[in-house]
Amino acid sequence: MKKSYLLLFFVLGSLQIQAQAPSTAATTPPTRNSTDVISLYSQAYTNVAGTDWNPGWGQSTQVSNFNIGSDTMIKYTNLNYQGVQFASGVNASNMTKLHLDIWTNNCTSFEVFFVNTSPSPSVEQNFVITPTLNGWNSIDIDLSNYTNIALHNIGQFKFVGIPFGSSTVYIDNIYFWKSPATPTITGFTIPNKNMGNPKFKITPPTSNSLGAFSYTSSNTGVATVNGDSITLVGVGHTYIKATQAPDSTYTAGTISTTLNVASGLPTTPTNAAPTPSRPAANVISKYSNAYTNGGVDTWSAPWDQADVADVQVQGNDTKLYTNLVFAGIEFVGANMVNATNAQFFHIDIWTPNATNFKVKLVDFGANGAYGGGDDSEHEYTCTPPAFSTWVSYDIPMADFTGLAAKAHLAQLLLISSGSTVYVDNVFFWSNSPLPITLSSFTASKEGSTAKLNWITSFENNNKGFDVQKSNDGKNWETIDYVAGVGFSTTESTYTSTDESPFKGTNFYRLKQMDLDGKTSYSNIVSVRFADRETVGLSFFPNPTKDKVVILIDEIQNKNASIDFINLQGKVIKTIAITEQQSNSNLIVDVSNFSRGLYIVKLNNGSVVKTNKLIIN
């Protein structure tokens, strides 16, 4: 009995080892008419061309091919989620099922998502499969389960495995299909329309069935259907579904298409935005031909979802945003805005299709750095803009209630829904003259001293400036006083020197004082001092989630660089730096990094410094 028991244990153990991967291929799919199948991945049929089975979506999943004899299948290991990107939208609205064969030894739940990527916004919906382990599962998903998906325009698949990040799945024979008894319906299109077009009749699709067609609209706020006639109701898109009744030969069948309805108004402006009439003394401008503008680092940050171009409308400089989901506009460091005394934020926009528009302001707090612990922000929802005309928004600064302070505004976000938006005349303003308009404020290293320079383009009732210094951006001391011009409508230049800067980072700000005793503060600038024999590397915040400010000491090599290295030793990002960036701050976007611990390495040729960075 002991020998039998040991033999049985050995056999079961061997089977368990063999069950780590399939030993036989999935069942060969049946022969089908070409009109009855849309194959995505199978050696039995002709597959849709141009499909990307491993788009880079930041997933941990590893994708490879696995062969059994002459059959090739896809193998997913460490599966958390995996995307499939089609070259163009797949029209499966005439099919009834999605087939796939899967084999797994540990995936207890496998989710199949369909994704509509256009028109915006994208829509996704899943179907959950509970596979049998250690054997092939032949799955046929009824497409009626995807009630929220436009089946005629499937742009992507997404697969999700549970346990998340550790599932192993083999997959083969992925195709849409229908029974030969289901009619073959093709050629269903509806041309784009404009609001104001009259009611029109639908041209029925082509079918090998004699059954009658009926039609429905997925969005009755855009178009309604009565019999075979469509009435336009609003701007946007809707899916028109054609359902064919059964006849003596075929069962019922469906097909769908998209109807886009535009405003019917011009899609580009022919007139420039209204010229602002506010006195320059009342304005802090970031973008307008009517005023002197303060600096802007970028009108479309790397982390945003928008495209921007510089255009002219009637000779007037204008920003054009397309595919605008959210645009990140940054004015950091010396370009920050002190809007403490401003009463309104102004912006002019022109859009042919944006049904909503929002503005967000972000203040970096007293330390003037993103993620320093004192940041605040507020998103304001504007009244929906009228189409194809310039719309002026004057938003009370008091309505940005989430802003704890307004002295270090460094980011402006424009938010819509994948729309086209023209932008002009971006500025802050007040009903009365602002105490000063600070055009610039900079700090630079000059030998062993720090040289501070600032320029005002307007002064009203300005007594002067206390020059303040800090080694942490929080606790301040006054190191100098510089008298103001008092009243001026032209540029005034000021300077101050710190003869005894700290080793490390020195932060500076201006405390502006009116003749009547009122005060306000400038943005914060900084400069770093260190021994020439050393290369320093420090940063904040740490941990961070999307941006890190790197504080760089003396750089003495033309080929210096900063590397971000993960725990596997892979360099994720490299940034080249120059001698001109010595003793400065460098803001790096790490929002697309995976969470975890990274080594940040500063290489200055002969000297290397490293430090650890945690990304949450």
Cis-peptide, bond into residue 543, ω within 30° of zero:
yes
Residue 5 lies in a domain: no
Residue 586 has pLDDT above 80, yes or no: no
Residue 544 has pLDDT above 90, yes or no: no
Share above pLDDT 70 across residues of the chain, in percent, rounded to a whole number: 94
pLDDT at 146: 97
**CA 400, CA 363: separation in Å to the nearest integer?**
11
Give the helix/strand (H/E) hosting 8.
Answer: helix 2-18
Q: Which of 152-156, 269-273, 521-525 has the lowest mean pLDDT?
A: 521-525
Q: What value does the mean pLDDT of the chain take?
A: 89
SS3 content of the chain, % helix, strand, coil (to 5): 5, 50, 45
**CA 202, CA 230: separation in Å to the nearest integer?**
7
Of the candidates 188, 120, 534, 582, which has an alpha carbon nearest to the alpha carbon of residue 353?
Answer: 120
CA distances from 231 to 35, 195, 197, 261 (A): 33, 10, 9, 11
Structure tokens at 321: 């945003």
Give the helix/strand (H/E) hosting 377.
Answer: strand 376-381
Do 502 and 529 form a contact (C-beta atoms < 8 A)?
yes
Q: In this predicted model, what pLDDT tens digit does every residue of 272-323 receive, in sequence order?
A: 999 999 988 889 999 999 998 988 989 999 889 999 999 999 999 999 999 9
What is the pLDDT confidence band of residue 215, given thresholds at 50, 70 and 90? very high
Do 80 and 161 form a contact (C-beta atoms < 8 A)?
yes
The total number of structural domains in the chain stands at 5
**CA 52, CA 41: separation in Å to the nearest integer?**
11
CATH of the domain at 525: 2.60.40.10
CATH of the domain at 45: 2.60.120.430
pLDDT at 536: 57
Classified as helix, coil or strand, 419 is: strand
**C-alpha count within 13 angstroms, C-beta hemisphere, residue 438:** 30
Residue 84 lies in a domain: yes
pLDDT at 41: 98
Whether residues 410 and 472 share a domain: the answer is: no
Whether residues 246 and 292 share a domain: the answer is: no
E strands within 91-166? Answer: 97-104, 109-116, 123-129, 137-142, 154-162
Contacts of 149 (CB under 8 A, 6+ apart): 114, 116, 123, 124, 125
Residue 2 has pLDDT above 80, yes or no: no
CATH of the domain at 583: 2.60.40.1930
Residue 18 has pLDDT above 90, yes or no: no
E strands within 117-197? Answer: 123-129, 137-142, 154-162, 167-177, 185-186, 193-194
Bridge-based pairing of strands 253-262 and 193-194 is parallel
Residue 269 lies in a domain: no
Do 107 and 80 form a contact (C-beta atoms < 8 A)?
no
Q: Angle 309-314-315 (CA atoms, 0-180°, nearest 5)?
A: 70
Whether residues 471 and 362 share a domain: the answer is: no
Residue 20 lies in a domain: no
**CA 335, CA 297: separation in Å to the nearest integer?**
8
The domain containing residue 40 runs over which residues? 32-177
What is the pLDDT confidence band of residue 12, given thresholds at 50, 70 and 90? very low
Classified as helix, coil or strand, 611 is: strand
pLDDT at 10: 41
Which phi and psi angles does 30 have, rounded to 5°?
A: -70, 160
pLDDT at 13: 44
Whether residues 475 and 402 share a domain: the answer is: no
Classified as helix, coil or strand, 269 is: coil
Whether residues 442 and 333 share a domain: the answer is: no
Whether residues 148 and 56 share a domain: the answer is: yes
Whether residues 155 and 127 share a domain: the answer is: yes
Whether residues 154 and 191 share a domain: the answer is: no
- 241-245, 353-357, 598-602: range with highest mean pLDDT: 241-245
Cis-peptide, bond into residue 435, ω within 30° of zero:
no
Residue 359 has pLDDT above 70, yes or no: yes
CA distances from 266 to 20, 152, 306, 425 (A): 62, 30, 21, 21
Residue 15 has pLDDT above 50, yes or no: no
Contacts of 474 (CB under 8 A, 6+ apart): 366, 367
pLDDT at 530: 67
Boundary-marking domain end, from 126, 154, 177? 177
pLDDT at 445: 86
Q: In this predicted model, what pLDDT tens digit does every residue of 473-483 receive, in sequence order?
A: 778 899 999 99
Contacts of 568 (CB under 8 A, 6+ apart): none
**C-alpha count within 13 angstroms, C-beta hemisphere, residue 164:** 4
pLDDT at 583: 65
**CA 614, CA 309: separation in Å to the nearest integer?**
35
Of the candidates 529, 472, 523, which has an alpha carbon nearest to the alpha carbon of residue 499?
Answer: 529
pLDDT at 576: 83
**CA 497, CA 250: separation in Å to the nearest integer?**
89
**CA 403, CA 401: separation in Å to the nearest integer?**
5
Amino acid 501 reads P
Whether residues 150 and 76 share a domain: the answer is: yes
Residue 499 lies in a domain: yes
pLDDT at 11: 43
Q: Which of 132-146, 160-174, 368-382, 388-402 has the lowest mean pLDDT?
A: 368-382
Residue 267 lies in a domain: no
Whether residues 339 and 372 share a domain: the answer is: yes
Residue 204 has pLDDT above 70, yes or no: yes
DSSP 517: S
Please say whether the dihedral angle defined by the alpha carbons of residues 423, 326, 336 and 378, taken in this order, is positive or negative: positive
**CA 114, CA 112: separation in Å to the nearest integer?**
7
Which phi and psi angles does 6 have, rounded to 5°?
A: -65, -40
Whether residues 391 and 503 share a domain: the answer is: no
**CA 469, CA 524: separation in Å to the nearest integer?**
10
**CA 174, CA 48: separation in Å to the nearest integer?**
11
Residue 5 has pLDDT above 60, yes or no: no
Classified as helix, coil or strand, 10 is: helix
What is the pLDDT confidence band of residue 539, given thresholds at 50, 70 and 90? confident
Q: What is the mean pLDDT of residues 217-239?
A: 93
**CA 122, CA 417: separation in Å to the nearest integer?**
11
Residue 23 lies in a domain: no
Do 83 and 59 form a contact (C-beta atoms < 8 A)?
yes
Boundary-marking domain end, from 356, 389, 417? 417
Whether residues 250 and 155 share a domain: the answer is: no
Boundary-marking domain end, from 507, 529, 551? 529
Residue 279 lies in a domain: no
pLDDT at 533: 41
Q: In this predicted model, what pLDDT tens digit does every residue of 500-538 receive, in sequence order?
A: 898 878 888 899 888 877 787 887 788 888 654 444 577
| 286 burial level (CB within 10 Å; 0-12, 13-18, 19+) | buried
